[in-house]
A and B are shown apart, each in its own frame.
Chain A
Amino acid sequence: MTYLRPKFRHPELPKNKLGYSVDKYEGALSTLCAGCGHDSISAGIIQAAFELNIEPHKLAKLSGIGCSSKTPAYFLSNSHGFNSVHGRMPSVATGAAMANRDLTYFGVSGDGDTASIGMGQFVHVVRRNLNMTYIVMNNGCYGLTKGQDSATADRGSKNKSGEVNLFQSIDLASLAIELGATFVAQSFSGDKSQLVPLIKAAMSHPGFAFINVISPCVTFNNNLGSTKSYDFVREHVEATATIDFVPEMKEITANYEKGSSKEVKLHDGSYIQLKKLAEGWDPLDRLSAMNAVQNARAKNEILTGLLYMNPNSVDLHELIETSNKPLNSLKKSDLCPGSEALKAVNAGLR
């Protein structure tokens, strides 16, 4: 790994609609191992935020504890970040999102942070359809404590010291669909061309958007026999479709065979274009998504791409009918009933 990054940027770096070049979206230098899949995902997040023209300070990034949860320091340094406690990012994100509905919330977690210690909070944030993007950087092991199996390690997978995992793995994408998540995707840290449009689509989705990204641990889980190694994942990845995120409707020029392409319109006018759709899979149909994921698992394949989305998602703010104005912007005049009202309260208590 490098310890220094030059501050110089090419003056003609392309700029987005806000006039920012991509360096405005970068973060501190990563302290993860060289070749860590997580760094590729961070790069994907930077690219997605840049391409989506997000004001960096209008995004809040939150995480739990673990290697993956360190990454928010490595992207979007003009955003406020919150590295909370192990497995508890969803609750902190929920409180933050309730306080200000106008920001974009971006959560990063790991397989230990989500599938073990944070399982309770994960399933409940899904249920509530909190308007946030939730990425799990999934490497099947505990990196920071030197490679113990996590709950997403596949049964039969071998870790670096040659031990075989005896227990069933938790498939987070299936679980999210089962729990009623309104956007579920799966990807691989080595496939940036798929990851970036998925992150963009997730960030544009008005509700809980979950992306499970297989992200090999080069140090502790990249060995022969591991089902989360680069080699194994590359060999077993099966994409549902190719995906493009299109910021606004424009004429579709390419011609595909009928039934092999699909456009999913998002609430803000942008849409997702899916091409070369897998057979028998409809991303808007929860049952077909569940089938597709289970069929892939049965064949030992890792199904990637958009798995399921509900374009009619109703997020938590809408469900509990909170004010359109961010709650943290309300003033005393909006919030305090005042002394006259209190006199009436007192009178009712005599």
Chain B
Amino acid sequence: MAGKKDKVNDFVVRFANVNGTGSASANFLFTKAIFRMGIPVTPKNIFPSNIQGLPTWYEVRVSEKGYLGRREGIDLLVAVNPQSMMNDVKSVRTGGYFLYDSSKKLHAEYIREDINYIGIPLMQMCNEAYSDARQRQLFKNIIYVGALAALLDIEFSVLEGLLADQFKGKEKLIPMNVKALQMGVDYIHKNFKYPLEIRLERRDLIGDAIMIDGNSACGLGAVYAGATVVAWYPITPSTSVVEAFGNYADEFRVDKETGKNNVAIIQAEDELAAIGMVIGANWNGARSFTATSGPGLSLMNEFLGLAYFAEVPAVLVDVQRSGPSTGMPTRTQQSDVLEAAYASHGDTKHVLLFPSTPKECFDMMADSFDFAELLQTPVILMTDLDLGMNDHISQPFAWDDKREYNRGKVLNAADLEKIEKFGRYLDVDGDGITYRTYPGTHPTKGSFFTRGTSRDEYATYTEDSDAYHRNMDRLIKKWNTAKEIVSPPQVYQEKNNSKNGILFFGTSQYAAEEAMDLLKEEKVIVDAIRIRAFPFNKTVEDFINSHDKIFVIEQNRDAQMKSLLMIELGINPEKLISVLNYDGLPITAENIIKQITGNLNHKFKILDAKN
């Protein structure tokens, strides 16, 4: 075990709650307080597909070093759910703490000799202080936050400040909450030694960072990008993308003069209709998107093929969850990579973007509309449940007011007057991207028929083999053009330092960067690249070609990114070593290190020391 000194600003607290009991806001209060004390912190919701009654966990990692991935090993468990208590007791690391409701005596089977118990009679305290049943339940959560404040040295004034923010406009609720916090603090002061050796100390490590979930960031990005038509069908974990969009639209998109909405949000009858509406709106010159998850993406396949072939822009957010089928709908995964890349029958390929942070969700959401319109094709933003639904510390959002929306090659009436014959699928510029017109542009020029059937350069239906062939080849030319347009990868070193490289994308970034750091401490040096888009550009190809071994880190069973690299870049499969995680929980640095060092036959000291 690491020494006592190391435990300042470096521990994991896990809350074991019952779903639907108001624990989420209390737990968030705890996290946000640490954030406001200037200390890096990352919370993960581990929740069931249920509205009320099933066990739910909230895991908070505090890391002075700024490691924001999940970490195994629980230092303090807050147990307020009898249903899961046996497993909760087992999950605490040796020497760790188990905080429980001591209103009833803890049964002998829950007693472990190697952990410390902190009993607080939460229920009893609530029953004495409150008469209303709902209050008893809600304030129980606030009392344990108060107790944690005393045990871990959370500054009380920070908690008070957060409550003041939370109840702005409902100020009379503040004293009640402060009182409940104080009850928790007082109980610890009276009955326990405090603070614990795992504790917090104020730092200045947050800077101007913000804390937000990726789905909200996507919604906000779409508002900034000028999306006006949004069609969607509710599905976990993507629902809050459109909800956030709607909330921001209420704030920013109501016309001040008329009170009318500069946006249309349609809840569709299913995902097929949602993507159909998005395609119809984009075809008609509006920026439009939908958000979904794996099952919805499966349903959208046919339409995505149409948009690819008919060359209609579309933006889709896929907040990935654990599949296949309904899978584990409230657990994270990166398992739609192949499904999204090649969605639909026939020869199709789609542009994918892989954000890692809320800031990147915002930026890539805005970029995806530019890319979709530049390339006249669907763009799929591949986020996941971890990024989408958990709060993350992120660089603040930024917007350059000089930035214009890039609407791509669209001809207006004046343009049409200048050309003799408009060819919707005529490659005038030689980059595979042709010119389009919106309906209603010109009385006699520029109209064309959009269809999923083959056609010639002038959009006239044809089953002529040569015309079909020319068109399919032009689409590949466009695909190659896309490689230089989409987001380039992040390369971690100016020149190679090692024969070995790691490659990752999306939310694996957090654990991968931590793993790199820890490996470096052991003198195991690896180069790194983070994929941010598909199609892959030359930088990705060069990175792989200039290393002997590439560890491809991804959160699915079938090594989907590895397959995509093999297929698209013709990489020798033996060169690509998979580092996989597919238990539905966010990948950890420890897991990555184990798999990498196992392959390199390196005995990893830090891990051995930990275990």
Contacts and interface: CB of A to CB of B under 8 A. Distances in A.
Interface in B384-412: 396-401, 404-405
A280 interface: no
B265 A320 contact: yes
A323 B258 contact: yes
B276 A336 contact: no
A58 B277 CA distance: 20
B349 to A, nearest CB: 19
Interface stretch (A72-80, A212-220, A297-305): A72-80
Nearest to A70: B461
Contacts of B263: 322, 327
A95 B261 contact: no
Which residue, A79, A91, A324, has most C-beta atoms of chain B within 10 A?
Answer: A91
Interface residues of B, number: 74
A91 B277 contact: yes
A56 B231 CA distance: 28
Given A323-B260, A346-B397, A98 B224 contact: no
Nearest to B404: A332
Nearest to B255: A323
Interface string A80-94: 111111001011111
Given A95-B229, A338-B401, A349-B210, A103 B286 contact: no
Interface in A207-234: none
B228 A335 contact: yes
Nearest to B305: A85
B400 A99 contact: no
A346 to B, nearest CB: 4
B264 A83 contact: no
Interface residues of A, number: 58
Nearest to A318: B260
Contact of B280 (A91, A332, A337): A91
Contact of A58 (B231, B260, B440): B440
Contacts of B274: 91
B391 to A, nearest CB: 9
Contacts of A332: 226, 404-405
Given A321-B260, A322-B263, A328-B228, A73 B398 contact: no
Contacts of B231: 91, 94-95
B443 interface: yes
A323 B265 CA distance: 12
Contact of A85 (B265, B303, B442): B303
Interface string A323-342: 11001101010111111011
Contact of A83 (B224, B442, B447, B449): B449
B278 interface: yes
Which residue, A98, A103, A337, has most C-beta atoms of chain B within 10 A?
Answer: A98
A62 B306 CA distance: 14
Interface in A44-62: 55-58, 60, 62
B440 A100 contact: yes
A92 B277 contact: yes
B270 interface: yes
Which residue, A57, A62, A95, A334, has most C-beta atoms of chain B within 10 A?
Answer: A95
B273 A88 contact: yes
Contacts of B404: 332
A318 to B, nearest CB: 10
A320 B259 CA distance: 12
Contact of B284 (A73, A99, A124, A346): A99
A273 interface: no
Interface string B223-250: 1111011010000000000000000000
A321 B399 CA distance: 29
B401 A80 contact: no
Nearest to A55: B443
A335 B280 CA distance: 20
Contacts of A335: 223, 226, 228, 253, 262
A80 B231 CA distance: 22
Nearest to A63: B451
Contacts of A84: 276, 279-280, 306, 452
B29 to A, nearest CB: 15
Nearest to A95: B280
Nearest to A332: B405
Contacts of A55: 443
A122 to B, nearest CB: 10
Contacts of B266: 94, 98, 128, 320
Nearest to B280: A95
B285 A328 contact: yes
A124 B274 CA distance: 12
Nearest to B206: A350
A322 B264 CA distance: 6
A78 B444 contact: yes
A102 interface: yes
A347 B437 CA distance: 41
A174 interface: no
A339 B369 CA distance: 19
B439 interface: yes
Contact of B269 (A56, A121, A334): A121
A102 B440 contact: yes
Interface string A89-113: 0111111111110110000000000
Contacts of A336: 223-226, 399
Nearest to B209: A350
A151 B220 CA distance: 45
B211 interface: yes
B256 to A, nearest CB: 11
B302 interface: yes
B279 A95 contact: yes
Contacts of A13: none
A99 B397 contact: no
A103 B275 CA distance: 21
A98 B306 contact: no
B303 A88 contact: yes
Interface in B451-474: 451-453, 461
Nearest to B439: A80
Contacts of A88: 272-273, 276, 302-303
A98 B228 CA distance: 9
B450 A337 contact: no
A323 B281 contact: no
Given A57-B443, A79-B447, A92 B269 contact: no
B212 A349 contact: yes
Given A91-B276, A320-B264, A342-B398, A124 B269 contact: yes
A94 B453 CA distance: 22
Contacts of A324: 258, 260
B438 interface: yes
B283 interface: yes
A81 B424 CA distance: 13
Contacts of B280: 62, 82, 84, 91-99
A133 to B, nearest CB: 15
A57 B306 CA distance: 23
Given A92-B277, A103-B440, A339 B401 contact: yes
A144 to B, nearest CB: 12
A96 B440 contact: no
Contacts of B261: 320-323
A345 interface: yes
A35 interface: no
A195 to B, nearest CB: 24
Given A83-B449, A99-B284, A100-B284, A346 B260 contact: no
Given A91-B277, A124-B268, 5 more contacts: A62-B280, A72-B449, A85-B276, A90-B273, A323-B255
State the 5 A-B residue pairs at the shortest beta-carbon distance, nearest first: A95-B280, A91-B276, A99-B286, A95-B277, A80-B439
18 contacts: A60-B439, A78-B443, A78-B444, A82-B280, A92-B277, A92-B279, A94-B277, A95-B281, A96-B281, A96-B284, A99-B286, A120-B270, A128-B266, A320-B261, A324-B258, A328-B284, A338-B399, A342-B397
Interface of A: 55-58, 60, 62, 72-73, 77-85, 88, 90-100, 102-103, 120-121, 123-124, 128, 317, 320-324, 327-328, 330, 332, 334-339, 341-342, 345-346, 349-350
